[in-house]
Amino acid sequence: MPQTTSGLLPAYLIVGADDLKRRQATTRLKGRLDQSFSAFNLDEHVAASDLEAQDIISSLNTLPLGDAFRLVMIERADKLPKPVSEAIIVYLKDPNPACVLCLVAESLPKNTRIYKAVAKVGNKAIVDCTPKKRWELPPLVVRMARAYGVTMDQNAATELVSRVGESTTMLDTQLKVLSEYCRDAGVITVADVERHVVRTAEVKPWDFLDAVSQRDAAKALTLYRLMQNPSQVALCSLLTGRLRELICAKALDARGQGSALASELGKQAWQVKNHLGWSRRFAAGALERGLIACAQCERALKSGSDPDVTFTELVVTVCS
């Protein structure tokens, strides 16, 4: 299908749960409009049961003012009434060359007729805004910080993700605030994140395990205290598993076979990327003694000892 007179495709579907990506994509598209006539050439809708197919098709077939193009945007496209979606499917077979349709949705199955119709428009018609996985976020945060004129390392970015959560919108908001605090220094450190960002995300068990792996008792205990109704037995089991992984890492590292760790543990490389470094923080025999302490802790927990005191003692023992 040919491009419109603006050089854009006749239709786009911006789809995915990453709100920041969706917002950036729609902002870029709106930025292509001639701002002198944007009030006339931009027509925005939100899909609802009262949306009329005739109104949308009429808007799509309206010619723009000036030499620019007309942009018709429909938010929550996954909620389009069937008559409207069917009318759009028919329209896309012979679209107005002076108009661009932009559908925006948090999710829309690929097997729907409207998704397939937009996909046929061109290779770049689907703008994927699928959220990144948690482990992919710190490198993204590092790049996002540069947009605000500051730098930050992986550790600071990881701490920010841990405190704020996986919403890129929230991460972007906090980075903007941090960049103002750290403008003179030009760098955002872990200490800056800890000082200026209040933890709003629920503590994940792996954040706690990572702190213990770093032998940072203060951080580990802080995270433990922030957990909502933690199961000390479950945490003890998870910690036992982590120590076993670190024992394996230390053994492979000693033989010069550290690169084989992921395959030996049956995990993805990103899941164990820090294990070798963490294992080197423990002296010979320390990890094994930690395993013994975990076994003793589990027996004590199941025998009715005070769960909070018992587990706290375990964390201190492993980290010390």
Nearest Cα to Cα of residue 127 among 146, 147, 108, 111 = 108
The predicted structure's pLDDT at residue 174:
95
Task: Identify whether the C-beta of residue 69 lies closer than 8 Å to the C-beta of residue 4.
Answer: yes
What is the tens place of the pLDDT at every residue in 218-246?
999 999 998 888 899 999 999 999 999 99
What is the tens place of the pLDDT at every residue in 255-291?
999 999 999 999 888 889 899 999 999 999 999 999 9
Give the residue-averaged pLDDT of 80-99: 95
Task: Identify whether the C-beta of residue 103 lies closer than 8 Å to the C-beta of residue 114.
Answer: yes
What are residue 94's phi and psi, to 5 degrees?
-150, 70
Give the residue-averaged pLDDT of 183-210: 92
CA pair distance 138, 173, nearest whole angstrom: 15
Beta strands in the chain (DSSP E): 11-15, 42-46, 70-75, 99-105, 126-128, 151-152, 187-188
With bands split at pLDDT 50, 70 and 90, how would you rate the model's confidence at 176? very high
Q: Is the pLDDT of residue 3 over 70?
A: no
Question: Within 13 Å and on the Cβ side, how many CA atoms surround 26?
Answer: 23
Edge to edge, what strands does the sheet with 11-15 contain?
Answer: 42-46, 70-75, 99-105, 11-15, 126-128
Q: Is the pLDDT of residue 37 over 90?
A: no
Task: Identify whether the C-beta of residue 105 lies closer than 8 Å to the C-beta of residue 78.
Answer: yes
Q: Is the pLDDT of residue 6 over 70?
A: no
The predicted structure's pLDDT at residue 127:
96
What are residue 6's phi and psi, to 5 degrees?
-85, -5
Share of the chain above pLDDT 90, in %: 83
Nearest Cα to Cα of residue 205 among 162, 247, 164, 245 = 162
What is the tens place of the pLDDT at every residue in 151-171?
999 999 999 999 998 899 999
Average model confidence (pLDDT) across the chain: 93
What is the tens place of the pLDDT at every residue in 123-149?
999 999 999 888 889 999 999 999 999
CA pair distance 208, 204, nearest whole angstrom: 7
The predicted structure's pLDDT at residue 1:
54
Give the residue-averaged pLDDT of 173-185: 94
The predicted structure's pLDDT at residue 34:
84
Q: Is the pLDDT of residue 4 over 70?
A: no
Q: Is the pLDDT of residue 74 over 60?
A: yes
Q: What is the pTM of this model?
A: 0.68
